[in-house]
Amino acid sequence: MHSPTPPVYAKSSMTTLRSLLHHDTHPLPHLDSASPSAAMPGGQIDVLGANLEPIAAHIPQATIGDTPSPVTLSRPTRATVTVPEGAISGDLVLHRNGHESNHLPVSIAVPMAENLHPVANPAVDADGNVYATLSGQRGQSTPVSIFKIQRDFQITPFVREILNATGLAFGPDGNLYVSSRAEGTVYRITAEGTFTTYAEGLGIATGIAFDHEGSLYVGDRSGTIFKIAPGSTPGASGETFVFATLEPSVAAYHLAFNNAGTLFVTGPTTSSNQAIHAIDHAGNISVFYRGLGRAQGMAFDIDGNLYVAASLHGQRGIVRITPAAEATLAISGNNLVGLTFLEDGNAALATRDALYHIALDIEGRPLI
């Protein structure tokens, strides 16, 4: 007996059948969360969910808003998406096998000002204008020392002829103060951009911050932190003395106060286990958090959370540390040196050569 001849299907019909079966056996990708939910161009967002793995060696595709975004890792419950240049805030979606996932909102930083050289936090005045430095290498004179960026992102030169402008902070008098690490000097700058010497002899003056009483604290790269009392007349400084001394290996490059008046200090090193130091009113030093890489500029929100430009477990960006010293990556991004909170929950992020604007829905601690 001859076996029955199997039915013959047209090639196109077989392809259609296989395609239908293929779709049926691969459920839709689903996104549960994005970590972090904010990033800069070049930063990476880890997405957790289900059915995120490749199909037939084809990695899922992603979009942020309408912008295609590379997927660099794809596993059943996790995918990593790199934020491309030109992306803006919008919904993150994974596309796989002709289907798309649910949408997750993510916040993406956009360029605010370029051709700068910040080495610490930018500063913001009471009108929402942001100030950033063109610091240069130590001893290098630059054509402009500080730029002013208006709320509509228009950038104009603000101050010239300050050598190696470094730390920026607004004082209780509404004037901008800046340190010069080349001169060991802090200058006071009026709203018109006129500057005068406020204090001298401060070593390699870097980070600066005001406390609630109007005293100015200045970090020196040798580890010394100076305290400068307000003077008896407007615009004048009072007594200057050493407030605290860290180990010589710790550069007091970045300073920030919390609501309780505790001073926090970082200084970038090559260590991947770097500490943030906390100094109380009496100058007593303790370690608030250890485990960061190259920790730099800091800012507090109104709830006492600390945000610091650093790397955490190999991931670079802005790290959020709670008052209980629990750390998570809040913003993913490279080359960050500092940040300042703006109005309406926004923030300005400083990289080595630019400023970025990002919406975070976080209210910063008032500094002026």
pLDDT tens, position by position, 12-63: 444 444 444 444 467 899 999 999 999 999 999 999 999 999 998 889 999 9
The contacts found for 61-65 with CB under 8 angstroms, 24 or more apart, are: 61/94, 61/95, 61/96, 62/92, 62/93, 62/94, 62/95, 63/92, 63/93, 63/95, 64/88, 64/90, 64/91, 64/92, 64/106, 64/108, 65/89, 65/90, 65/91
What pLDDT, on the 0 to 100 scale, is given for residue 252?
65
CATH superfamily of 16-108: Immunoglobulins (2.60.40.10)
Residue 36, preceding peptide bond in cis (omega within 30° of 0): yes
CB-CB neighbours of 361 under 10 Å: 9
Residue 4 has pLDDT above 90, yes or no: no
Tokens representing 303?
């709830």
Whole-angstrom distance, CA of residue 124 vs CA of residue 132: 9
Angle at the Cα of 271 (from 269 to 277), degrees rounded to 5?
70
Burial class of 284 by CB neighbour count within 10 A (0 to 12, 13 to 18, 19+): exposed
What pLDDT, on the 0 to 100 scale, is given for residue 258?
97
What pLDDT, on the 0 to 100 scale, is given for residue 138?
86
Tokens representing 1?
């007996």
Angle at the Cα of 170 (from 168 to 173), degrees rounded to 5?
145
Residue 84 has pLDDT above 50, yes or no: yes
- 302-333 per-residue burial string, b: 16 or more CB within 10 A, e: under 16: eeebbbbbbbbeebbbbbbbeeeeebebbbbb
What pLDDT, on the 0 to 100 scale, is given for residue 24?
47
Query: CA torsion angle for 180, 226, 309, 155 (degrees, to 10)?
Result: -30
Amino acid identity at 62 = A
What pLDDT, on the 0 to 100 scale, is given for residue 98?
87
Q: How far is CA 336 from the centre of its chain?
A: 6
Tokens representing 107?
């916040």
What pLDDT, on the 0 to 100 scale, is given for residue 31?
98
How do the residues of the chain divide into helix, strand and coil, expressed in percent and rounded to 5?
5, 50, 45
Which pTM was predicted?
0.91
Mapped onto helix, strand or coil, the DSSP state of residue 237 is: strand
In percent, the amount of the chain with pLDDT more than 90 equals: 83
Query: CA torsion angle for 198, 202, 206, 207 (degrees, to 10)?
Result: -70
Identify whether the C-beta of residue 245 lies closer than 8 Å to the C-beta of residue 223: yes
Confidence of residue 181 (pLDDT cuts 50, 70, 90): very high
How crowded is the C-beta side of 182, counted as CA atoms within 13 Å?
A: 14
- What sections of the chain are H helices per DSSP? 11-24
Q: What is the 3-state secondary structure (H, E, C) of 152-206?
A: CCCEEEEECCCCCEEEEEECCCCCEEEEECCCCEEEEECCCCCEEEEECCCCCEE
Q: Which fold has domain 110-359?
A: Methylamine Dehydrogenase; Chain H (2.130.10)
Closest CA to 31 of 93, 75, 84: 93
What pLDDT, on the 0 to 100 scale, is given for residue 22?
44
Backbone dihedral angles phi then psi of residue 160, each to the nearest 5 degrees: -120, 165
Angle at the Cα of 296 (from 293 to 299), degrees rounded to 5?
120
What pLDDT, on the 0 to 100 scale, is given for residue 18?
43
pLDDT tens, position by position, 277-301: 999 999 999 999 999 999 999 999 9
Tokens representing 192?
């018109």
What ranges do the domains of the chain cover? 16-108, 110-359
What pLDDT, on the 0 to 100 scale, is given for residue 21?
46
Confidence of residue 250 (pLDDT cuts 50, 70, 90): low
- Bridge partners of 313, per DSSP, are none
